Amino acid sequence: MTIQIGQALPDLPIAVINGEADIQRTTTAPLFAERNVVLFAVPGAFTPTCSERHMPGYVRHFDAFKARGTEVYCLAVNDAYVMKAWALSQHVPAGLKLLADGNGAFTKALGLEMDGSAYGMGMRSRRFALYAENGVVKSLHVESPGELRVSTAEAMLDTLSQ
């Protein structure tokens, strides 16, 4: 079942990449506690739409989120080393955290996994964005397959303005 507005995010192990910093292993609860966070998820690092459109929008608008007191995290079912290389290739600013959900446990707990086996990708995350306050989901925007509209940086900035 997909996580719903008003529910707390699950607390599971995750690897965090913060800009060019080393990989840190933690759990999700402290990442979301006592802060406002936009979490956007991509099906995979280095995939075309994710690398050419989705991530670049959040990099470009990162300061606008910071000005609103909102942190930005990117989630993918990839290993931490791939996510770190992707962060470097995308010129991700320090403070925009990448969350490597290598085994997909957090994604599955959110109920937002997809089967990409037909494309040789295995289990991945659906493309989505959510806004959470102190670990509680306040808005959730899940893309239809093949689309990039409701989870963009611009769409989430609009959500925060409402």
pLDDT digit string, tens, across residues 106-136: 999 999 999 999 988 889 999 999 999 999 9
Architecture of domain 13-161: 3-Layer(aba) Sandwich (3.40)
Amino acid identity, residue 146?
Answer: G
Q: How far apart are CA 109 and CA 105, in angstroms?
A: 6
Q: What is the mean pLDDT of residues 97-107?
A: 97
Q: Tens digit of pLDDT for each residue in 18-70?
A: 866 689 999 999 999 999 999 999 999 999 999 999 999 999 999 999 999 99
Q: Copy the structure tokens of residue 162.
A: 């409402």
Please report the pLDDT score of residue 120 as a whole number: 87
pTM metric for this prediction: 0.96
Q: What is the mean pLDDT of residues 87-100?
A: 95
**Residues taking part in catalysis:** 50
Q: What is the mean pLDDT of residues 90-104?
A: 96
Nearest Cα to Cα of residue 98 among 39, 37, 49, 142: 39
Q: What is the mean pLDDT of residues 2-28?
A: 93
Q: How far apart are CA 116 and CA 122, in angstroms?
A: 5
Amino acid identity, residue 139?
Answer: S
Find the angle CA(28)-CA(105)-CA(136) to the nearest 5 degrees: 40
Please report the pLDDT score of residue 20 as a whole number: 65
